[in-house]
Amino acid sequence: MHPVVFNGGTFDLYTQLPPRFQAGQPLSVYIEGDGYAYVSRQRLNDDPTPREAVALDMAVRDSAPNVVYLARPCQYVSGSQRRNCQPAYWSIARYSENVIASTNQVIDQLMARSGARGLRLYGHSGGATVALLVAARRQDVISVMTAAGLLDTEAWTTMDGLAPLVHSLNPADQTQRLAAIPQLHLLGGDDDVIAPAVAQSYAARFPTGQQPRLQIVPGQTHTCCWAEHWPEFLRARP
């Protein structure tokens, strides 16, 4: 894979692309988590670039054609490419309209560049939040699959006693638009960052009979060891 930075309107977004695309095949986009957003619980970092890129590690283990890694705003960029990089965009506005619109705009460019037909979205942690919010506004999504995903931001902040993400969108408010999209959400049985109850709150918002699939994986934490076992998990992809 090789790096390319795309202009997404509000933000320039860093990607890793395959050596070549196969036109007519689905595009698989792996969206990174929130990264190194906080130095401590109360102190924001200046640069949210992740120290451990779990979604990238997952992407390189996917043998499907047209696999792309997509970072979040302000990750892996510097200089003029850090335009509009304010700390709110990796804190209270990390899933804001500007963030989702930029992500969606770059995915449009990736779809055109690849000649792909259909879109599979993957996300780790906050990347799952973005994946669902993007899926809710598109018509070409084949499936969404996430690992340790933040699926209901309001439930998460309430359960953990955190400040509300007041300038962010919540996937749990988009369930009517998401109900027809096949989904699989893998949850860490030992995840002490996002408890499985958050995903269960998300699923409970769906109409009866249309709830997404949730699977608790014993022994998995928030980051370990999704990538190592990812080819095995992909066998169950929707």
pTM above 0.85, yes or no: yes
Give the model's pLDDT for residue 43: 84
Q: Mean pLDDT for the chain? A: 96
Give the model's pLDDT for residue 219: 94
Give the model's pLDDT for residue 37: 82
Classified by CATH at the fold level, domain 2-234 comes out as Rossmann fold (3.40.50)
Q: Are 168 and 153 in contact (CB under 8 A)?
A: yes
H/E stretch holding 31: strand 27-31
* Residues in the chain with pLDDT values less than 70: 41
Give the model's pLDDT for residue 39: 77
Give the model's pLDDT for residue 45: 87
Give the model's pLDDT for residue 110: 98
Q: Where are the domains of the chain?
A: 2-234
